[in-house]
Each structure stands twice: as structure tokens, then as C-alpha cells.
């Protein structure tokens, strides 16, 4: 359950507050600024009497200190060395903890044979030259020997059977996050849920699929990479939306990855409104500019030709955005979702899980 951005408000259902979860969301919302986190937390505690009967904000600070989120030194409150890791753990549990149990665990391809980290199947086949001896099914092999009337010492090559295995593949993913000004416009905070999804997905892949890779990039007037450890600090700027440059950078990142399956996941709330043209930033926020659209579609097609599957997650219903995404999705043979904010994490994780399989 997502405390601030889920379909329900747990504060209205229970007087028991998960201080670690609340602190973690405020941490992401404040871009890792502890002073702002504590001020927001104090305002919430005072306004809603969250600390409970006979308790105050100092008691809440005691709880946070016991959980290793803060430390109090002479005249100041500081984050601990493990604050960021604790925040990542908490966000992962909030967003993906209940979903991961129902997700497939491997990266199976539709063909069988010897592969990287093969997954054993429930059936066997006759041994062939080149098969790994570690895959031998000795019980079936010995049964074949006995059926011929030979003893256990009469095992022959024709008796051997091996466990069938399904070749597995790695998945390289780039998550693109829109950081244009509209992500915090009109009083709606869209960047915090996007960052929380990125943090949660990074933790999910690290824990469940350590051979996979996740790279995160932000795109505004231009695109740049974000270390996963610094996702909480990512902030929106006075930017337009250069989707083409984000796709370019995603393609360049994935080109260097040797995974069999490559995915681009794009979270955005606005149509593309700028591109680089002859070394200069060309901007037009009015409607769908033909030049901007064509350059963006062209970059998407390059991604498709290089084997990168693309899924777009729209967290707004602006008509121009919907029109562009329909054009874009057809051009790249991708997928598109309108998720809103409350189920963004679920849509992203389920799409990532269902599209990890290598297409042969």
C-alpha cells in the first residue's frame, strides 16, 4: 500500500502509523532534504495528532532514531549512513511487496536447450553428445538399463537420459522519467510517485534478478543518467519535454548491454515539446509540432530496429499526449498504458515482468 499515492489513505483507517513508510515518502518528495522532511513530518504530526495520546514529535524522533533513519548529535539531527538504504527497502515493500509473489521468477525463452542459468523442466530426453553431465537423470537412465535386462553395471550410452532445460536470458532495462515542469504543475505531484516506482523497481531487480540490469535516465530539455542510489534526489526543473533525446540515450545505453532482451519503460505526463536541431534546442509547447513529432518517432523507430521494446506509461490524459502516444506506439510496435498515479507501480512491474521473455 502506498501511503500518499495509493487508492486509500491508511491514516483514515488506523491510528497506527508506519513511521518508516511515512518518513520514506517524505524523503523522496523532499529530494532527500532532511530538514524539509522533518518539517513536513512535524506538520503532519501536529495537524493530525499522529503521535498518539500523551506523545509528541520528540517521541516520533525517538522512533525514527531507533529504526536507524536519523541520529541526533549536539544541536542537530542528521541522516544515518543507512538512511538511504532503509528508505529504498521501505519503498520496495510499499509498492512491490504484495505484487512480487505473483510474478514469474525467471527469464525463460520459448526454446529449449543449454542456456545461461538453465531452468530444469519436469521431463527428460535422450542424452546427446555435448549435453552437460550435470543434467543427467540417473534414475531414468538406470531404469532404461534394467529394462534391457542388464544390471546396474551394464549402463550404456543409449540408456542415458538428461533433464530437459529451458534456456534463460538476461534483461536490460532503461527507465525514462519525465522531469519537465508539468510533473509538479497545478498542484499535482507526479514526480514523487515516478521516483518511488524507479526506486522500487531497482530494488526488485537487484533482489530477484541480479543478472539483469536497470539504468534510469531523466529527460527534460535534454536527457541524462541517474545513479539508482541517487533517485530520491531527482528534482523537476523548468524544462520542456525532449522525448527524442531520452530515447537516444536509452538506445545508446542498451546498445552496450549484452542482454538478450532489452526494454525501455517511459513514464511521462506530457507530449514531446522540444528536440535538438542542428545543435540548438528547438522548442514549441503549442500542440503537436510536426518537426518535434517526426524526430521523436524517428528515434523510437531506431530503438525498435535495434531490438528495444518500448512501453509508455501516461500519468496524465492530455489530448495531445494521448494522440502522440497512439502515433508513437504504432511506430515502434510498443505498448501504452494510462495508469494514473495510484497504480503506476503495479502497471510498471507487471509490464516489465510480462515482457522480459526473449522473443525468438
Instruction: Show which of 68, 96, 124 is a domain's final residue.
Output: 96
- Check: CB of residue 337 under 8 Å from CB of residue 311: yes
Residues 155 and 290 in one domain: no
Q: Are residues 291 and 154 in the same domain?
A: no
Q: Is residue 143 part of a domain?
A: yes
Residues 197 and 320 in one domain: yes
Beta-carbon contacts of 74 under 8 Å, excluding residues fewer than 6 positions away, are none
Per-residue pLDDT of the chain (360 residues; tens, 9 = 90+): 223 444 444 454 455 789 999 999 999 999 999 999 999 999 999 998 888 888 899 999 999 999 999 999 888 999 998 898 999 999 999 888 766 555 554 443 333 333 344 555 566 778 766 566 777 888 888 888 888 888 767 788 888 888 765 444 579 999 999 999 999 987 789 999 999 999 999 999 988 888 899 999 999 999 999 999 899 999 999 999 999 999 999 999 999 998 889 999 999 999 999 999 999 999 999 989 999 999 999 999 999 999 999 999 999 888 999 999 999 999 999 999 998 888 898 889 888 888 876 543
Whether 18 and 125 share a structural domain: no
Specify the pLDDT at position 245: 98
Supply the range of the domain harboring residue 117.
Answer: 108-168
- Same-domain pairing of 245 and 120: no
Of 32, 65, 96, the domain-final residue: 96
Question: Is the domain of 199 the same as that of 274?
Answer: yes
pTM score of the predicted model: 0.77
Count how many Cα atoms sit within 13 Å of the Cα of residue 32 in the half-sphere of its side chain.
15
Residues 127, 182, single domain; the answer is no
In this structure, are 316 and 333 located in the same domain? yes
Integer Cα distance of 33 and 40 in angstroms: 11
Question: 75, 96, 117: which is the final residue of a domain?
Answer: 96
DSSP state, 121? E
Burial of 154 (0-12, 13-18, 19+ CB in 10 A): exposed
- Distance of alpha carbon 95 from alpha carbon 149, whole angstroms: 60
Other CB atoms within a 10 A radius of the CB of residue 122 amount to: 6
For residues 152 and 104, is the Cβ–Cβ distance under 8 A?
A: no
In order, the DSSP letters of 187-231 are G---HHHHHHHHHHHHHHHHHH-TTSEEEEEEESSSEEEE-GGGG
Residue 136 DSSP SS3: strand
pLDDT at 165: 58
Task: Tell me which H or E stretch contains 249.
Answer: helix 243-255
CATH number for 296: 3.40.50.410
318 and 233 both lie in a single domain: yes
Query: Cell numbers of 109, please?
Result: 525463452
Whether residue 316 sits in one domain with residue 199 = yes
Domain-located, residue 228: yes
C-alpha cell at 134: 550435470
For residues 232 and 298, membership in a common domain is answered with: yes
Give me the number of domains the chain comprises. 3
Rounded to 10 degrees, what is the CA torsion of 199, 326, 351, 295? -50
Residue 1 lies in a domain: no
Amino acid at each position: 500500500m502506498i501511503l500518499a499515492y495509493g487508492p486509500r489513505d491508511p491514516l483514515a483507517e488506523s491510528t497506527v502509523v508506519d513511521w518508516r513508510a511515512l518518513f520514506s515518502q517524505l524523503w523522496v518528495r523532499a529530494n532527500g532534504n532532511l530538514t524539509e522532511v522533518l518539517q513536513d513530518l512535524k506538520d503532519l504530526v501536529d495537524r493530525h495528532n499522529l503521535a498518539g495520546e500523551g506523545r509528541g514529535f520528540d517521541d516520533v524522533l525517538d522512533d525514527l532514531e531507533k529504526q536507524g533513519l536519523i541520529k541526533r548529535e549536539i544541536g542537530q539531527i542528521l541522516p544515518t549512513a543507512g538512511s538511504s538504504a532503509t528508505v529504498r527497502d521501505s519503498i520496495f515493500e510499499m509498492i512491490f511487496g504484495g505484487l512480487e509473489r505473483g510474478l514469474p521468477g525467471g527469464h525463460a525463452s520459448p526454446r529449449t536447450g543449454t542456456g545461461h542459468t538453465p531452468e530444469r523442466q519436469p521431463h527428460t530426453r535422450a542424452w546427446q553428445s555435448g549435453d552437460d553431465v550435470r543434467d543427467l537423470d540417473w534414475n531414468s537412465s538406470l531404469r532404461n538399463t534394467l529394462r534391457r535386462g542388464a544390471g546396474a553395471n551394464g549402463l550404456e550410452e543409449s540408456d542415458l537420459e538428461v533433464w530437459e532445460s529451458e534456456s534463460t536470458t538476461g534483461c536490460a532495462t532503461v527507465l525514462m522519467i519525465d522531469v519537465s515542469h508539468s510533473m509538479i504543475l497545478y498542484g499535482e505531484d507526479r514526480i514523487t510517485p515516478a521516483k518511488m516506482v524507479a526506486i522500487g523497481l531497482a530494488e526488485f531487480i537487484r533482489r530477484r534478478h541480479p543478472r539483469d540490469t536497470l539504468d534510469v535516465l531523466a529527460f527534460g530539455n535534454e536527457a541524462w543518467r541517474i545513479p539508482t542510489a541517487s533517485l530520491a534526489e531527482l528534482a523537476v526543473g523548468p524544462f520542456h519535454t525532449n522525448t527524442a533525446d531520452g530515447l537516444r540515450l536509452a538506445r545508446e545505453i542498451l546498445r552496450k548491454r549484452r542482454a538478450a532482451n532489452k526494454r525501455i519503460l517511459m513514464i511521462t505526463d506530457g507530449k514531446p515539446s522540444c528536440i535538438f536541431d542542428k545543435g540548438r534546442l528547438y522548442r514549441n509547447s503549442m500542440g503537436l509540432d510536426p518537426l518535434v513529432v517526426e524526430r521523436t518517432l524517428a528515434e523510437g523507430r531506431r530503438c525498435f530496429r535495434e531490438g528495444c521494446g518500448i512501453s509508455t506509461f501516461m500519468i496524465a490524459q492530455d489530448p495531445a499526449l494521448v494522440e502522440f502516444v497512439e502515433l508513437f506506439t504504432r511506430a515502434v510496435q510498443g505498448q501504452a498504458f494510462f495508469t494514473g498515479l495510484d497504480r503506476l507501480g503495479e502497471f510498471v512491474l507487471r509490464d516489465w515482468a510480462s515482457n522480459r521473455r526473449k522473443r525468438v
